[in-house]
Structure 1
Amino acid sequence: MILYYAVGGGMGHLARASAVLNTLQIPKEAVKVLTASPFASLYFQDLPVLPLPAHLNNDPEFYEIWLKQQCKKYEFTEIWVDSFPCGILGELGCLLDLPLKWTYLARILHWENYCGLIKFTPPFQRVIQLEMLETSHQDFLKSLECPIEHISLEYPVYQDNTKKIFSQNDWLVVHSEPQTEVEELLAYAQDQANLENIKPRFCLISPIKKIDLDIDFEHFNLYPSHPYFNQAGRIFTACGFNSMTQTLPFREKHHFLPFLRRFDNQFLRATLHKKDKYF
């Protein structure tokens, strides 16, 4: 039984988990995805989720006790750690005494922001690298002295995602949160349309409906959104891992803006994609 450790409050860790399990053809009954994200029950009903109780978010001592209890309850034999090798706060040291096989799923980090949380090195036996990393992060992978695999993710598509909804006159603005960033992306799309002197239909795909901008747009609460990318004339996203991966087949019509994150270096990812460097 695999514990897929995807602790984080956003949608990105869950989308990546869904893609990893789909790509590697992991049976749902063989894995539990640990998450604190509120999006799990809204958009990932097919994912075998182990929800993190909200009351443990600010109680690291009891969280570690709870986590070890779950490992025993579900008889986990493996742990797959998404993004943060020691946990998002360095909390995974509590599992070092358990008989687990460790796998690290590596994507871009602000390594200088994260490395101070590394007080121990988990005994990783396998690394799955999902994109090109900065040098210091790559050096960390090499120091683990275990096999490093490179895989390209295949995101799942469901039958009801094949409907024709959009046209080439539609410009998709795709972002989950926060509202201020959704507004920035909408404004970016409008500026691009004004620059080209054209009038597309702006289609916002987001859980967020309320926008404090004087822009005419239509709202769509669709997930997953990537099956519709081929229908639209343009796609506007931030530079998170999933957005940049899902839009690779549509580079000629993809516009992107990096946003500041504590641990995710979207600016590095944007630079690498402009240079067509992925691994």
Structure 2
Amino acid sequence: MIVCYAHGGGLGHLTRIRAYLHTRAVRGPVTILTGSPFAADPRVTGGHPVRSAPAGLGRDGLTRWIASALAELAPAELVVDAFPAGLTGELSARAVPPGVRVVHLARLLRWDAYRPLLPAEPLGFDETWLVEPVAAEHEAYLRSVAAALAPLELAEPPVAAPSPTRPGGWLVVHSGPPGETAELVAYARETAALEGVRPRLTLVSPIRPATLPDDVAHLDVYPAWPLFADAERIVTAAGFNAVRQAAPWAGRHRMMPFPRRFDDQFARAARVRGGRGRPAPVGNDGDEAVKT
């Protein structure tokens, strides 16, 4: 049994866990612990069993919930996504039973903002995989708590049922919140005007925002990246998965970074625009792979 801890309110943690399980060719039972509202969507979880954290738990409550789940599930391995101490500092050495192998997937964080959450008894990692370059202080911390640290290029799992719809035109891809989606649609319009074109716009998102203009089509497709090959432009935020998945079509990709409590979308966008850092592959069957 492998337990994956992917706590967070967005779609990105679950998408990254699925890519990790595929990249590492993980076999056998997997259970995902999460607080994401997208965990109810089998397209996102890939059919793996999910345990959702009760709403409203603080740090101590999450620590107890994790410890209880791990004691019951008795995993051989725990995979911790993104946050080495959890989203609120709930992960420490005391939360994980002895003998459980612990793996960490490390991505870019605003380390000055996150560092105060580190516990007095930090969780140690048997392996830490850098799925993108991180800040120097962040990497130094990881080296202090990990027995091994190495880069890992993630590849997406194959798509079982490709979408029959191939919208082409310009794609705006975002899972929310609605205010950010509206900003991305406006950014796509402004960018098109600067390029002197009037493209067909399609929003790919789990929910059609009430304020979406009538002339913008909406698709609820997951994953969205198989649509990128036919798109004239791909407009996204600068989250890890969006940037990684769009990299094979970097010349068509337009990013608008948004502020996050811990994710540094601005640094990621600057790195990609400056040509620094190697993105990870998207597909596993020769999909223009190379390149969050």
TM-score range, shorter chain: over 0.9
Question: Which amino acid is the alignment partner of residue 100 of structure 1?
Answer: V
Q: Which residue of 2 aligns with 1:136?
A: 137
Shift of 1:112: 0.5
Structure 2 distance, partners of 1:47, 1:110, is 32
CA shift in 2, pair 1:164/1:216, >3 Å: closer
Question: Retained in 2: the 8 A contact 1:171–1:236?
Answer: yes
Corresponding residue of 2:236: 237
1:225 aligned partner: 224
Query: Taking structure 1 as reference, are residues 131 and 45 closer, same or farther at Cα in structure 2, changes over 3 Å only?
Result: closer
Other-structure match for 2:19: 19
Structure 2 gaps, min length 5: 279-292
The answer as to whether partners of 1:40 and 1:49 remain within 8 angstroms in 2 is: no
Deviations 1:86-107 (CA, angstroms, capped at 9, x unpaired): 1111111232453221211100
Give the 3 Å change call, closer, same or farther, for CA 60–262 of structure 1 in structure 2.
closer
Aligned counterpart, 1:117 = 117
With over 3 angstroms needed to count, the CA separation of the structure-2 counterparts of 1:235 and 1:58, relative to structure 1, is: same
Tell me the amino acid that sits aligned with residue 126 of structure 2.
Q
Aligned with 2:37: secondary structure? coil
Matched residue count: 275
Taking the TM superposition and a 5 Å limit, the aligned residue runs for 1:188-227 are 188-212=187-211, 214=213, 216-227=215-226
Q: Which moved more, 1:264-273 or 1:192-201?
A: 192-201
Contact (CA 8 Å) 1:5, 1:82: kept in 2 or not? Answer: yes
Q: Which residue does the alignment assign to 2:289? A: none
Distance in 2 of aligned mates of 1:64 and 1:195: 50
Structure 2: how far apart are the matches of 1:175 and 1:112?
Answer: 27
Amino acid aligned to 1:191: E
Counting only pairs closer than 5 Å after superposition, residues 50-199 of structure 1 correspond to structure 2 as: 50-55=50-55, 57-93=56-92, 94-119=94-119, 120-144=121-145, 146-161=147-162, 163=164, 165-167=166-168, 170-199=169-198
Q: CA deviation at 1:135?
A: 1.4
Paired position in structure 2 for 1:261:
260
* 8 Å Cα contact 1:107/1:133 also seen in 2: yes
Moved more, 39-48 or 112-121: 39-48
User: C-alpha separation between the residues in 2 aligned to 1:154 and 1:192?
Assistant: 30
How far did 1:9 drift?
A: 1.2
2:108 maps to a residue whose letter is: I
CA distance in 2, matches of 1:23, 1:37: 22
Q: Is the contact made by 2:71 and 2:97 (CA closer than 8 Å) also made in structure 1?
A: no
Alpha-carbon distance between aligned partners in 1 of 2:245 and 2:113, rounded to the nearest angstrom: 26
Shift of 1:74: 1.4
TM-score relative to the length of structure 1: 0.92
Q: 1:91 to 1:53 in 2, by over 3 A?
A: closer
Q: 1:22 touches 1:155 (CA, 8 Å); kept in 2?
A: yes
**How far is the alpha carbon of 1:162 from its aligned partner?**
5.7
CA distance in 2, matches of 1:190, 1:154: 31
C-alpha separation in 1, matches of 2:65 and 2:122:
22
The answer to which of 143-152 and 250-259 deviates more is 143-152
Inter-CA distance 214–50: structure 2 relative to 1 (3 Å threshold)? closer
**Preserved CA contact (<8 Å) 2:6 2:32:** yes
% identical equivalent positions: 35
- Please state whether the residue corresponding to 1:172 is helix, strand or coil: strand
